[in-house]
Each structure stands twice: as structure tokens, then as C-alpha cells.
């Protein structure tokens, strides 16, 4: 039996022949004579086209038997034309697909449908099933069903691809719905949200349904202090499809969580951006660990500086004690008295500065980004080095004169510098030179090996030493956590890892150059902030400070040696003073003199009732008074309480009395 796919348009004798004619009910010879010639030609053209079509074509009787089939259909199902014409379509249809076939055929026969399309399965001659797309229409003659015209296209590969896609999507959904991270997807063209994993409800504390109703509702939870981090990234995400940011959210129950969010674009087969997908995860625990790590590293730095700090403080005390003796010996020599007072004052300020630097280094606080002067941070940290490093190390600094402003966390930038100069000190055990350079550079100055960044201007901080240097293996691993070349107990190996993390958190990058036996240079690039500070308060010199006019001030201070000289000093400038030595006495004095007291200067650490509680009660008693808080150290965790009280001024101890006058003048 000849296979249909082997048939050609030539007969056995090699002569051309017409395609097989459709075996359909046709008119008698007499009736055929009346047929229009054009109609016959059109029918022949139709059968010729059907025979040569790459898709399967068939003429099927109303009862389902194959009347005529083309070679393409034979090839699809593996049967010859003769084999198919001996049977019907039901015999090669998958049993599960027959019921729908019967229903659709009945709707065609009844006139409810003119045609239909469906996907179904045929059984191949070798026994396997294949998927086809079937288009069927009914031809009527004089209103009576005559035959069906069917077009058959094999879609097995497409169905397999769809099945694989469904399985892949199901695996993806199972994965996305079980991981701890939030996974989301949106359409790049319409910005329509397509999917959000259930982790959103657990982390954000809001329903997924609410997010689909308002795709921007997740922004309502962003901490107000972090909105400036998120909104620029949203614009970047919409324009470039990328986001990488860490920020805080405030849940409905008031709790805060730290979030790390990443997003990226997915390119479709046409080369265009098809989807934007992203992952957001709760990094609160990680953030707390990083904060503890940073604090422990700062404590390690203080330990490294302890010897130098003790030496410097002893020198400070020696100077103060020495010039106090000179005062005693020259109590009637005004010139020497003033000279001694000036030296004691300057030395005390030097000690106060050293304490402030140590407090900065030891501070345990949340990241707080603000506009700061990099010059001031580095100079302050450099003073520690000059005070504590051995004299065998020469320190040179080369800063540009114009201030360099960056948006940064003051404590973290301070930590970077301290870590790097301590490493330089350790690398120069026998002495050497430490060189600090700082300037603004533009992107064009970067070498081809530097990271590609969008920022145009950077602050470049360079720390160079003439120490022992590093080999290539050490240089390659220098930023790895817990990697150290120091002896056991001499270092944790976390310092440079912490430095790199801080730099990256500030959208910058760090490079290192080193030659074994010749020294090392670290280069830190931090984005420059072009905007000017919102306000820079300029304080007048004490000579221009306005005298008081009998205003009443309540001083709350438990240290008599601070209270007495401050009282005398302010009285000299025309102010009236009341005093209290603990919180309870302060409340009593204020109640008795509420009408005349205009300003309250209160120490933080007081007996009986602490300073913040005293000021809170005073504010509730009279909201018109100016309240000032003084302390040697204010824990950052107390800042919200201070802000709630509405304090305009806080003063760092040890304060200069002139600072009090300046504040009083502003008031």
C-alpha cells in the first residue's frame, strides 16, 4: 500500500496527473453539464491547494469518515491515504477528547456554530499520541450538511514547551512561596504588578491583596528618614531596571525592620526589557550583628590607641599641674598669670578634644547619614594619630583647602580612617612615614581597572605608609573577613572587611596598592555631595557677645566645681542665677520662681531625677521656657526623647563658658 507522503503529482508511467479528487456526493452527469465552468475551476484550484498545503487538510463526512486527506495529514499521523479512508476520525482520537468532539460536531450540525477551533490528541500509527490544533467548518448543500472541511496542524512541540513552562512556573511558585525573601515581578512596559510572594505579608505586615490594589502602598511603610534613599532608586529602577539599597520600614505595630532590596531587568526574546524582577529580604538581624561588629572593632581600635592616649593624657595633666604651680608662685605677676591661664585653657581644650574623639570612636549607634565635611572628620581623627603614634613615625597631611562635603555617617567615616592609620602604624614598627592626602577628583581620572560608576565627582582619601608592604596573595585576601597577618591575639582580621563594607554602604569603593618591603597605599573614593548645607550657624567671638540684662537662669548641676565658676562667669555678664544640685531640688526651685526664670541649663546625669525627666516635667509645667541640656556624652538612643521634649540646644561637656553666652545671645 502506497504511503500518502510518498505520493507525487506524477502517475506510474511518469506522466503528470491531477491530485486525487475529493470523494463527495456530486451531481449526476446530466446535472454536471449545467455546472458553471468557473465553479469547477475554483473547486479544482481548492483541491490542488489542499493537496500541496504544508498543513493537514481533510474532507470528512457528517458521520466522521475520512473522504479525502492530503499528504501533510498522512505524514502527521503516519497512515496512508487509503488507510485513513477506510476509517473515521474517531478511531484515531484520544478517548478523553471524543466527548468534546461530539458536542462541537452537534453544534455545527444544528447550526449553533459556523466553525470551531480546538486542541486535541491523535494517535499516531506507531501508537504514541500527538497534539494537533484542529479548525473545522461545515459545508451545506441546499441547507443540508454535506461534509466537514478540517485543517490540522501538529502542535506537539508547542504543547511540550507549554507543559515545561507550566512545570517551571509551578516550581518557581513553590520556591518563591517558601523562601524567606520577598520575590516580586512587574511588567516593564505597563509597570503592572504581576506577582508578589507571600513573604511580603510576613515582613511588611500588610496583605498581598492590598499591594495589588495599590502597587505603591509598600512605600507607605518606608521610614521617613530613609525616603531619600528609596525614591532615587525607584526612578533608577524605572529607567535602568536596577536597584540595590538598604533601608528601614515601620510596620503597623510600630516595629522597625531593615530591608535589603535588589532588582534587575529581564530581557525578552526580542531583545527588549520584558520584566522587572526583584528580591527584598529582612536583614534586621544581620544589621544588628554588623552594628555589634563595628562597635567591637572600634573597641579594638581604642585598645590599640590606649597606650598613646594614656601618654597624651599624662602630658596634659602634667602641663596643667605645672602651670598651676607657676600661678601659685607668681600670684602678683599679672602677665605670668594670664600666660599660665592661657596655657592651662589650651591644654584643657586639647584634653577635651581627645575625649571627644574617643567617644566618637566608641560610639554605639545606628547609621545616621547627613551632610558632613570630610576635612573635619579626617582632621579630628588625624589629631588622635598625632597624639598617640610614636615619634618615630612622621605624619604628613596634604588636604585641598576647599571643604569636601559628603553625605555620610560621621562615626563610620571616622572608623574607616582610624582603622587604616592603625594598620599603617602596625606596618611601621621601626618607624617610617604616614602620608594622608585628600582631594576631589572627577570620574575621568579613574583608571580603566576602576569600577564603572555613575557619580561624576568623588572625594579621594589616600593613606600611604612606608611599612613592610604586602605580597600578592595577602593583597588578594586583604578584605576577606577574619583574614589577618598579625599574631594570635593581636587582631581579629575584621578591620579591613569592615572598612570595605562601610565604603560600599556609602556608594564608594576602595583600592589598594602595595609592594613587599616598600609600603602600602589605600585609596578611598566617596561620592561628593554638591548641595550646600541647609544651615551653618556662625557664632560670634566672646568679645562681641552681648551682656545680659538681668535675665534669670536656672542652673541644674550636681558638680560644685562646675556650678560655682559658671555662676560667677554668667553673673559677670549681667545674668541673674538660681541653682539646684539634683532633679528634685530643680523642680522645687522652678515651681517657686516660674514667672521670672527664662532659661534652664540642666545636666543630663543628676541625682534622684535624671536631666531628661526634669526637662520633660519643666516643659509640661511651662512650654515657653528655653531648655538647654548639657552632658559629657549623650547616648544616640536618647535622641528621640530629647526631640520629643522640644529642646533647641544641647551642649557637649566640657563646654567653654563662652558657648553658653553665645547661646544666650541667640535666645
pLDDT in tens, 343-364: 888 778 777 766 765 665 555 5
Q: Which residue has the cell 534622684?
A: 608
For residue 300, name the pLDDT band (cuts at 50, 70, 90): low
- The alpha carbon of residue 101 and the mean position of all alpha carbons in its chain are separated, in whole angstroms, by 56
pLDDT in tens, 477-524: 777 765 566 554 444 445 677 788 788 888 889 999 999 999 999 999
Out of 21-30, 210-219, 394-403, 404-413, pick the least confident: 21-30
**pTM for this structure?**
0.44
The three-state secondary structure class of 131 is strand
Cell of residue 661, nine digits = 553666652
Which secondary-structure segment (H or E) carries 245?
strand 243-250
In our burial notation (b when 16+ CB lie closer than 10 A, e otherwise), range 571-602 reads eebebebbbbbbbebbbebbeeeeeebbbbbb
Question: Whole-angstrom Cα distance, residue 641 to residue 614?
Answer: 12
Domains of the chain by range and CATH?
4-155 (3.30.450.20), 177-282 (3.30.450.20), 288-527 (3.30.565.10), 542-666 (3.40.50.2300)
| pLDDT of 546 higher than 50 | yes
| pLDDT of 29 higher than 50 | no
Q: Residue 654, preceding bond cis, omega within 30 degrees? A: yes
What lies within 8 Å, CB to CB, of 469 at 6+ separation is 427, 514, 515, 516, 517, 518, 519, 520
Question: Whole-angstrom Cα distance, residue 202 to residue 220?
Answer: 16
Which secondary-structure segment (H or E) carries 526?
strand 519-527
For residue 380, name the pLDDT band (cuts at 50, 70, 90): confident
pLDDT, position 240: 59
pLDDT in tens, 249-287: 999 898 999 999 988 888 887 888 888 888 999 999 888
pLDDT in tens, 31-63: 444 445 665 666 667 677 778 888 999 999 999
Amino acid at each position: 500500500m502506497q504511503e500518502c507522503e510518498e505520493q507525487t503529482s506524477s502517475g506510474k508511467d511518469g506522466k503528470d496527473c491531477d491530485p486525487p479528487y475529493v470523494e463527495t456526493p456530486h451531481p449526476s452527469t446530466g446535472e454536471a453539464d449545467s455546472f458553471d465552468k468557473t465553479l469547477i475551476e475554483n473547486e479544482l484550484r481548492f483541491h490542488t491547494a489542499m493537496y500541496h498545503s504544508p498543513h493537514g487538510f481533510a474532507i470528512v463526512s457528517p458521520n466522521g469518515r475520512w473522504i479525502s486527506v492530503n499528504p501533510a495529514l498522512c505524514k502527521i499521523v503516519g497512515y496512508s491515504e487509503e488507510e485513513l479512508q477506510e476509517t473515521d476520525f474517531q478511531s484515531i482520537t484520544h478517548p478523553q477528547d471524543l466527548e468534546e468532539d461530539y458536542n462541537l460536531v452537534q453544534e455545527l450540525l444544528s447550526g449553533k456554530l459556523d466553525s470551531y477551533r480546538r486542541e486535541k490528541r491523535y494517535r499516531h500509527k506507531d501508537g504514541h499520541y500527538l497534539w494537533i490544533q484542529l479548525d473545522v467548518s461545515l459545508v451545506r448543500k441546499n441547507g443540508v450538511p454535506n461534509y466537514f472541511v478540517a485543517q490540522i496542524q501538529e502542535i506537539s512541540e508547542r504543547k511540550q514547551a507549554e507543559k515545561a513552562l507550566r512545570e517551571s512556573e509551578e516550581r518557581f511558585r513553590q520556591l518563591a512561596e517558601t523562601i524567606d525573601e520577598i520575590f516580586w515581578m512587574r511588567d516593564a512596559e505597563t509597570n503592572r504588578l504581576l506577582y508578589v510572594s507571600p513573604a511580603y505579608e510576613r515582613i511588611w505586615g500588610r496583605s498581598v491583596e492590598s499591594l495589588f490594589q495599590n502597587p505603591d502602598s509598600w512605600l507607605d511603610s518606608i521610614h521617613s528618614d530613609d525616603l531619600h534613599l528609596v525614591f532615587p532608586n525607584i526612578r533608577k529602577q524605572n529607567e535602568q531596571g536596577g536597584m540595590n539599597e538598604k533601608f528601614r520600614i515601620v510596620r503597623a505595630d510600630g516595629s522597625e525592620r531593615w530591608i535589603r532590596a535588589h532588582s534587575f531587568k529581564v530581557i525578552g526574546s526580542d531583545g527588549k526589557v520584558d520584566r522587572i524582577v526583584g528580591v527584598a529580604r529582612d536583614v534586621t538581624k544581620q544589621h544588628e550583628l554588623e552594628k555589634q561588629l563595628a562597635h567591637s572593632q572600634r573597641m579594638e581600635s581604642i585598645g590599640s590607641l590606649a597606650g598613646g592616649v594614656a601618654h597624651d593624657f599624662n602630658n596634659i595633666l602634667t602641663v596643667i599641674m605645672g602651670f598651676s604651680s607657676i600661678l601659685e608662685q607668681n600670684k602678683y605677676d599679672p602677665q605670668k598669670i594670664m600666660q599660665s591661664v592661657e596655657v592651662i585653657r589650651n591644654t584643657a581644650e586639647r584634653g577635651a578634644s581627645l575625649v571627644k574623639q574617643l567617644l566618637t570612636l566608641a560610639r554605639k549607634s545606628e547609621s545616621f547619614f547627613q551632610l558632613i565635611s570630610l576635612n573635619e572628620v579626617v582632621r579630628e581623627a588625624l589629631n588622635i594619630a598625632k597624639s598617640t603614634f610614636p615619634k618615630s613615625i612622621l605624619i604628613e597631611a596634604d588636604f585641598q583647602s576647599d571643604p569636601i562635603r559628603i553625605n555620610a555617617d560621621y562615626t563610620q567615616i571616622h572608623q574607616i580612617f582610624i582603622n587604616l592609620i592603625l594598620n599603617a602604624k602596625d606596618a611601621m614598627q621601626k618607624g617610617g612615614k604616614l602620608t594622608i592626602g585628600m582631594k576631589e577628583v572627577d570620574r575621568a581620572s579613574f583608571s580603566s581597572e576602576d569600577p564603572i560608576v555613575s557619580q561624576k565627582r568623588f572625594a579621594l582619601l589616600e593613606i600611604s605608609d612606608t611599612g613592610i608592604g604586602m605580597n600578592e596573595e595577602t593583597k588578594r585576601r586583604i578584605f576577606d573577613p577574619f583574614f589577618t597577618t598579625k599574631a594570635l591575639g593581636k587582631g581579629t582580621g575584621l578591620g579591613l572587611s569592615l572598612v570595605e563594607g562601610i565604603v560600599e554602604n556609602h556608594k564608594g569603593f576602595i583600592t589598594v596598592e602595595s609592594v613587599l618591603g616598600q609600603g602600602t597605599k589605600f585609596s578611598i573614593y566617596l561620592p561628593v555631595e554638591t548641595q550646600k548645607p541647609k544651615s551653618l550657624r556662625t557664632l560670634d567671638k566672646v568679645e562681641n557677645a552681648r551682656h545680659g540684662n538681668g535675665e534669670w537662669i536656672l542652673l541644674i548641676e550636681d558638680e560644685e566645681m562646675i556650678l560655682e565658676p559658671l555662676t560667677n562667669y554668667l553673673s559677670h555678664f549681667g545674668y541673674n542665677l538660681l541653682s539646684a544640685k539634683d532633679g528634685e531640688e530643680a523642680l522645687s526651685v522652678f515651681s517657686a520662681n516660674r514667672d521670672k526664670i527664662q532659661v534652664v541649663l540642666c545636666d543630663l546625669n543628676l541625682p534622684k531625677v535624671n536631666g531628661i525627666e526634669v526637662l520633660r516635667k519643666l516643659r509640661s509645667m511651662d512650654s515657653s521656657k528655653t531648655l538647654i541640656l548639657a552632658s559629657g556624652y549623650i547616648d544616640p538612643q536618647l535622641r528621640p526623647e530629647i526631640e520629643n521634649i522640644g529642646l533647641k540646644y544641647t551642649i557637649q561637656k566640657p563646654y567653654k563658658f563662652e558657648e553658653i553666652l553665645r547661646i544666650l545671645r541667640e535666645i
